[in-house]
Amino acid sequence: MNNTSKPLPSLKAMAEKKLDGIGKQTIYRLDPRLVKVRPGHNGRIKSVGLRAHIDTMKVSMRTAGTAAFPPIDVEVEDGEIWLVDGECRTTAAIELMDEGHEQLYLEARQWRGSEDERTAHMLTSNQGRGFNGLELGHIYLRLRRMGWSIQRICERNGKSDTHVQQMILLAESPLELQGLLAGEKVGTDAAVAAIQKYGMKRALEVLRGMVEKNGGQKKITKTAVLGRAFSRTTVNDLVESLDTFYNRLSERQRAEISTLLDNNVAELAGKTITLPAASLKGLIDARHKVETERQKHMKKDAKANSKRNAEAPVGHDDESFEIADLCKG
């Protein structure tokens, strides 16, 4: 008698035999119109970018159906089906059917967990378009209010504590600043840089002015807030000139300078000190290199602004978002 077992023909058969390393998860097929969404649960903020993402999904669903999309995550409570993850996919399918498309179904997995785990689940299950900084900030802030530590959030999302704290800072910023972020007028890095440089109140004033100046035609960047960094060559030349300047001073001159530095500005009035011309020339040459590079930056920025203004449309519609979404959760 031959005891050789036949090879199992499928993963389903392997899972039913409980082979090591193989499990089975049930995937359901749902009419998306049966799925309910808890107000304020989704971390998304409505914007032009989000609208474009949903429209792209609709194009794909219209031509190829929903088979290529990953399953949405849902939970069942009191006989109702509630969305946990996949609102964009669900919205796209419902909109298509409302526009006359034939019946669509979405694959779905049943999810189980607590309210805070449901919120954290968004951070790691997010499919397609990633969360922007402000959206992440509101998710992090919601978890903090549920008792999660910064360290726990970092471990869950694989981000640094600096990142988490900065995004929470944006979520706690004035609604006007959050509106500039949600409307994609100001970049996340630019907002963080402005707050760190000026403080919250002044940062809002600066960013508001920059948006008004360019007419909202281009997103404000970190470089626009902090200015362009000087090249490594220019910085190295400046440092070398400072070192050379100091090294050429005699012990007496260094002592005189040290004595002068102990005085306040008012006490220095009328006082002089003799320094080597070669040392001063090195400093002036380095200063000239800095100014030359600064002028190049200014010309480059002016050229870019001129080109952008020439290409800009006559009218400009503000990108839409719902400020109420910022306050949910």
pLDDT digits (tens, 9 = 90+) for 185-218: 999 999 999 999 999 999 999 999 999 988 878 8
Task: Tell me, yes or no, whether 283 lies in a domain.
Answer: yes
Structural domain contains residue 134: no
Rounded Cα distance, 131 and 137, in Å: 9
Domain count, the chain: 2
Which structural domain, as residue segments, surrounds residue 28? Answer: 22-113
Global confidence as pTM: 0.67
**The pLDDT of residue 304:** 66
Tens of pLDDT, residue by residue over 115-124, are: 999 889 888 8
As a whole number of angstroms, the distance between CA 163 and CA 147 comes to 19
Does residue 67 form part of some domain? yes
Radius of gyration of the chain from its Cα atoms, rounded to whole angstroms: 30
Please check whether residue 5 lies inside any domain of the structure: no
Among residues 172, 183, 186, the alpha carbon closest in space to that of 321 is found at 183
Q: Which of 140, 200, 179 is nearest to 326 (CA)?
A: 179
CA dist., res. 91 & res. 213, Å (int): 36
Residue 265 confidence (pLDDT): 72
Six token digits for residue 170: 């944006």
CA distance 134 to 44: 9
Q: Count the helix, strand and coil residues of the chain and give each as a percent rounded to the nearest 5.
A: 55, 5, 35
CATH number, domain of 65, equals 3.90.1530.10
Residue 46 to residue 57: CA distance in whole angstroms? 16
72 burial (CB, 10 Å; 0-12 / 13-18 / 19+) is buried
Q: Out of 113, 146, 178, pick the residue that ends a domain.
A: 113
Residue 238 domain-assigned?
yes
Residue 103: its pLDDT value, please?
A: 96
Q: Half-sphere exposure of 82 toward its Cβ, with a 13 Å CA cutoff?
A: 17
The predicted pLDDT at position 4 comes to 57
Residue at 133 is within a domain = no
Last residue of a domain, one of 60, 87, 113: 113
Chunked mean pLDDT (size 10), the chain, 329 residues:
69 81 87 92 84 94 93 94 94 96 96 91 77 94 96 94 96 95 93 94 94 87 82 82 82 82 75 78 81 79 65 43 41
Are the beta carbons of 213 and 225 closer than 8 angstroms? no
Q: Is residue 78 a part of any domain in this protein?
A: yes
Residue 178 lies in a domain: no
